[in-house]
């Protein structure tokens, strides 16, 4: 099955079916122009095959952009699997998925995403070498990518505070929406830098525990986007900013890990029109995929640190392009990613 998307080449879809193992899903391979298609495996509730195809296509395209902007030698892909309605054997399901990944002979490699964990990657690894996010081995890259994602967001935020707010993070208040794996790690890093925190999470125990640890104020989940803060960091789910939420934002900078924060491209323009600097999620949340890439490509930890801390510089390049072109940062990031893919990875300013 092939689908032509916005003149960016053909997205290939590989439909995955193994009734015995409960496997029902799709791999979308959006681009291999810069290297093997890399993107996690999402295990989620879908009501139809079409819903899976649409989600996989959108996510795979996002991975092409994210990997290109992170200057990784990787293309973009994503696997989407439906959580079966009937009881199932999780290890068997992921082994069956691993056999499907193996059939692509390295054109796609997988890792964790929403709904999957390290144990699932270990099941997949019984069938194919084209998997990352496995337990860390003796100081080499691997394991949970979330701390790296948090580190990259912090690097970007640190730079934005100095350049755009003209003060260090220790003089800033940061509001974090969602304090799970990434948001929780980010809160601790910010606390160690002396930043003041406002936190919100639908998991009230989690947020209360973290607030006690960091001296943070807890906000209502419905209010967090509009609290008084210098920086707003969405670290929960996507779809945060639409015309209504954009109008409520009081922070001058938005910089967080959540994927697909803007409901539409226009919402990035709306933020810019209100004078709010939006750091595109696909630029600032690449720390995790950098760690995953390092594990798969055999880089060492020093290289991971260098590249993750380079998030600030890569973001600055995108913001400079936005300023020069008069585009909102999200649009500047997308056009830079497309150019990079078209030029086979050459670094374009
Ligand atoms: P997670 O599931 O560990 O944390 C998400 C947190 O958000 C949870 O504590 C949840 O209770 C909370 N939450 C859900 N809805 C909420 C709402 N409406 N208001 C406030 N809190 C809410 O997920 P994780 O891994 O921390 O990822 C967070 C975001 O970052 C996701 O959008 C993910 O796609 C994105 N991301 C994660 C990466 C990683 O390395 N884990 C890499 C790149 C992006």
Quote the strand ranges of the chain, DSSP E.
2-4, 10-18, 23-31, 37-38, 41-44, 75-82, 108-109, 173-177, 196-200, 217-218, 231-234, 253-254, 277-278
- CA 29 distance to own-chain centroid: 17
d(CA 277, CA 328): 9
pLDDT in tens, 194-237: 999 999 999 999 999 999 999 999 999 999 999 999 999 999 98
**Looking at 73, 94, 126, which one is the last position of a domain?**
126
235 in any annotated domain:
yes
**Looking at 70, 98, 126, which one is the last position of a domain?**
126
150 in any annotated domain:
yes
Distance 224 CA to ligand 1 centre (A): 15
- Output the residue whose Cα is nearest ligand 1's atom 8: 180
> Which residues, 6+ apart, have CB-to-CB distance to 199 below 8 Å?
175, 176, 179, 183, 187, 207, 210, 211, 214, 216, 217, 218, 219
CATH number at residue 57: 3.40.50.10860
d(CA 140, CA 240): 35
36 in any annotated domain:
yes
Whether the pLDDT of residue 119 is over 60: the answer is yes
Are 122 and 151 in the same domain? no
d(CA 208, CA 145): 24
Q: Is 311 in the pocket of ligand 1 (CB under 6 A)?
A: no
Whether the pLDDT of residue 152 is over 60: the answer is yes
163 in any annotated domain:
yes
Q: State the total domains in the chain.
A: 2
Whether the pLDDT of residue 349 is over 50: the answer is no
Distance 337 CA to ligand 1 centre (A): 24
pLDDT at residue 114 in the model: 85
The β-bridge partners of 14 are 27
Are 118 and 155 in the same domain? no
Are 150 and 272 in the same domain? yes
Quote the strand ranges of 102-167, DSSP E.
108-109
The β-bridge partners of 108 are 37
Are 117 and 260 in the same domain? no
254 in any annotated domain:
yes
Are 122 and 162 in the same domain? no
Are 60 and 186 in the same domain? no
Cα dihedral 222→231→255→307 (10° resolution)? -140
d(CA 217, CA 200): 9
Question: What range defines the domain where residue 20 resides?
Answer: 6-126
Are 239 and 171 in the same domain? yes
Which atom of ligand 1 is least distant from the CA of 285? 43
pLDDT in tens, 309-325: 999 999 999 999 999 99
Distance 105 CA to ligand 1 centre (A): 31
292 in any annotated domain:
no
Structure tokens at 19: 């009734």
Q: Is 182 in the pocket of ligand 1 (CB under 6 A)?
A: yes
Q: Is 221 in the pocket of ligand 1 (CB under 6 A)?
A: yes
Residue 136 · residue 142 · CB < 8 Å = yes
Are 169 and 220 in the same domain? yes
Are 172 and 39 in the same domain? no
Q: Is 283 in the pocket of ligand 1 (CB under 6 A)?
A: no
Residues assigned a catalytic role? 78
Q: Is 201 in the pocket of ligand 1 (CB under 6 A)?
A: yes
Are 96 and 22 in the same domain? yes
Which atom of ligand 1 is least distant from the CA of 149? 40
346 in any annotated domain:
no
Whether the pLDDT of residue 6 is over 70: the answer is no
Query: Helix or strand or coil: residue 216?
Result: coil
Are 203 and 328 in the same domain? yes
Tell me how far apart the terminal alpha carbons of the chain are, to the nearest angstrom. 35
CATH number at residue 167: 3.40.50.720
Average pLDDT, the chain: 94
Are 97 and 31 in the same domain? yes
Does this model's pTM top 0.85? My answer is yes
181 in any annotated domain:
yes
């Amino acid at each position: 099955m092939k689908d032509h998307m916005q003149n960016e080449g053909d997205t290939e879809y590989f439909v995955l079916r193994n009734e015995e193992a409960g496997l029902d899903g799709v791999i979308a391979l959006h681009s291999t122009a810069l290297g093997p298609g890399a993107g996690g495996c999402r295990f989620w509730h879908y009501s139809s095959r079409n819903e899976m195809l649409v989600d996989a296509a959108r996510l795979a395209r996002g991975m092409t952009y994210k990997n290109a902007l992170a200057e990784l030698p990787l293309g973009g892909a994503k696997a989407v699997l439906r959580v079966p309605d009937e009881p199932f054997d999780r290890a068997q399901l992921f082994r069956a998925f691993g056999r499907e990944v193996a059939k692509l002979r390295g054109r796609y490699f997988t890792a964790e995403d929403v709904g999957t964990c390290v144990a699932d990657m270990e099941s997949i690894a019984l069938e194919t070498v084209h998997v990352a996010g496995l337990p860390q081995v003796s100081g080499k890259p691997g394991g949970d990518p979330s701390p790296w994602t948090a580190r990259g967001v912090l690097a970007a935020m640190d730079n934005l505070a100095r350049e755009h707010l003209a003060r260090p993070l220790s003089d800033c208040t940061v509001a974090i929406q969602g304090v799970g794996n990434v948001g929780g790690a980010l809160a601790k890093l910010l606390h160690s830098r002396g930043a003041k925190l406002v936190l919100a999470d639908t998991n009230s125990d989690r947020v209360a525990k973290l607030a006690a640890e960091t001296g943070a104020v807890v906000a209502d989940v419905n209010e967090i986007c509009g609290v008084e803060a210098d920086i707003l960091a969405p670290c929960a789910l996507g779809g945060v900013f639409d015309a209504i939420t954009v109008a409520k934002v009081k922070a001058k900078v938005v910089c967080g890990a959540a994927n697909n924060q803007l409901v539409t491209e226009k919402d990035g323009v709306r933020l810019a029109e209100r004078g709010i600097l939006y750091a595109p999620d696909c630029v600032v949340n690449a720390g995790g995929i950098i760690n995953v890439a390092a594990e798969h490509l055999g880089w060492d930890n020093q290289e991971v640190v260098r590249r993750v801390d380079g998030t600030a510089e890569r973001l600055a390049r995108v913001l400079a392009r936005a300023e020069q072109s008069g585009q909102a940062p999200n649009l500047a990031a997308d056009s830079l990613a497309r150019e990079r893919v078209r030029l086979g990875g050459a670094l374009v300013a």
